[in-house]
């Protein structure tokens, strides 16, 4: 089977406090997250422009099935305009910077790592 699109179709970021997580990601990414209450499952959907490449995803809360993690497992990279000023917002919003802006390579841009307000290890990516 040949993939027709980029490999990532959706992501979910576990949270323990939807309001706190929503505020955190809105502050650092400058986006509006819409929260949807589906009984035991709450989802905070990131905005998506279907005309642009990349996947969208959601903050998710369910007391039995989702738990934030700072492990060395799967790592989600969120796109931003510039990693450095975005990382500067992380601690102000209640997170912790783990890796300052670092060049991946000239052709692949820059990255940085942080722990979000819920305790998840996350990454940022930008071309500049």
- Give domain limits for the chain: 10-126
pLDDT (tens digit per residue) in 55-104 = 899 999 999 999 999 998 899 999 999 999 999 999 999 999 999 999 99
Contact 68, 16 (CB under 8 A): yes
If we measure between CA atoms, which residue out of 44, 50, 40, 34 comes closest to residue 12? 44
Contact 14, 68 (CB under 8 A): yes
Contact 29, 37 (CB under 8 A): no
Sign of CA dihedral 113, 14, 119, 86: positive
Please give the class, per CATH, of domain 10-126.
Answer: alpha beta
Contacting residues for 63 by C-beta, under 8 A, at least 6 apart:
40
User: Per-residue pLDDT for 1 more than 70?
Assistant: no
pLDDT of residue 104: 96
Q: What percent of the chain has pLDDT over 70?
A: 96
Distance from C-alpha of 85 to C-alpha of 123, rounded to nearest angstrom = 14
- Cβ-based burial of 61 (10 A; exposed 0-12, middle 13-18, buried ≥19): buried
């Amino acid at each position: 089977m040949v993939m027709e699109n980029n490999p990532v179709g959706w992501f979910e970021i576990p949270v323990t406090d939807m309001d706190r997580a929503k505020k955190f990601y809105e502050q650092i990414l400058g986006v509006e997250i819409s929260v949807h209450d589906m009984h035991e499952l709450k989802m905070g959907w990131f905005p998506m422009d279907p005309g642009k490449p990349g996947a969208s995803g959601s903050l998710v809360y369910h007391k039995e099935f989702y738990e934030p993690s700072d492990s060395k497992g799967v790592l989600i990279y969120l796109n931003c305009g510039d990693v450095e000023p975005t990382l500067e917002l992380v601690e102000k919003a209640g997170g912790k910077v783990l890796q300052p802006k670092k060049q991946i390579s000239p052709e692949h841009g820059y990255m940085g790592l942080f722990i979000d307000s819920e305790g998840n290890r996350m990454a940022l990516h930008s071309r500049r």
